[in-house]
Amino acid sequence: MRTLHFGLLTSLGVIFCLVAHASDVAGSKDHPVVSRYAGSEILKYEVKDFDSFTLPTAQVRDRRSGPTASQALEGHITRIQYRAPEGRSALEVFRNYQQSLLGGGFTSVYQCENQACGNDFSYALNPPSVMHFSGKDQKYLAARLSRPTGDVYVSVYTTAAYGVGGANKNRVFTLLDVIEVKPMQTGQVVVDANAMAREIAATGRVALYGIYFDSGKADVKPESQAALGEIAKLMKQDAALKLLVVGHTDTAGAFDYNIDLSRRRGQSVVQALVSGHGIDTARLKPWGVGYASPVASNRAEDGRAKNRRVELVAW
């Protein structure tokens, strides 16, 4: 895993460090990808091995409607809430995170400051943050780091606790979310031949999500074997069944490119069934429609994931 080594930011004169603070909540620690602002303490700490996360990517108009745009993510999620040392400003703390992330290979997905974020921005964080202090002094950055093993998203929300008393008076808080996008453990649920047969009998088609390809490529990945085996079983149970094998994509890339990619993916599935499972090639026809037949909106990642599929259509 790539680690951002936060050193001295000469323009701000502050050092990030990975050393635990004596007053950190029990069991907590900094994330190896991004550390704390020097001298901060961890107040809340939560880790989920695999869960969904909604990343705000636009202004929040009000707490009920949420952000005007967002990105749906899934993966390993770490949430840490820090309280900065006394005397620090929200701007100073945030600029350290911003400069270190963007200088360390991350690219900005969305960022805003103060009223540009919206008065209720903290309510849009997933789950909503307890840091409902002031919309007049808040900063937010969502950034992404691309890795071969899966992208890492970091969400940084910094605000100052004006108008409160006690130990939190005028203190600066940072909510840090690190989402390590990774595929969930596959092979746990397989659409079997009988289920496919029932769906085809009822609707004439069935959508499959157990056939995998690398992004932009048409080669069927090895983890697709369970689904391919069930397709072969389906066809051997019904000797009269003939299928169109139709590739579908999301909207990433040009239309003609996706048409070609989806056709090649359909062809790869047909070839895998013919060469690996002995299915007569005359019973299978590859096709591809790119993103011309979506089943969900392509504006969010969860919708794009549903649109990336292979369909079997009886003919």
Q: Which fold has domain 193-314?
A: 60s Ribosomal Protein L30; Chain: A; (3.30.1330)
Residue 15 CA to residue 271 CA, distance in Å, equals 57
Average pLDDT value for the chain: 85
The domains of the chain are located at: 8-181, 193-314
CA dist., res. 263 & res. 258, Å (int): 8
Strand-pair category, 138-145 with 152-160: antiparallel
- List phi, psi (to 5°) of 58: -165, 170
Tell me the H-state helices in 141-223: 193-203
The kind and range of the H/E element at 152 are strand 152-160
Report the 3 state secondary structure along 67-78: ECCEEEEEEEEE
**What is the pLDDT, as a whole number, of residue 41?**
96
pLDDT of residue 107: 92
Which residue numbers in the chain have pLDDT < 50? Answer: 1-18, 186-187
Global confidence as pTM: 0.56
Write down the pLDDT at residue 241: 97
For the segment 53-109, what is each residue's pLDDT rounded down to a tens digit? 889 999 888 777 778 888 888 889 999 999 999 999 999 999 999 999 999 899 999
d(Cα 101, Cα 3) in Å, to the nearest integer?
10
Q: What pLDDT was estimated at residue 128?
A: 56
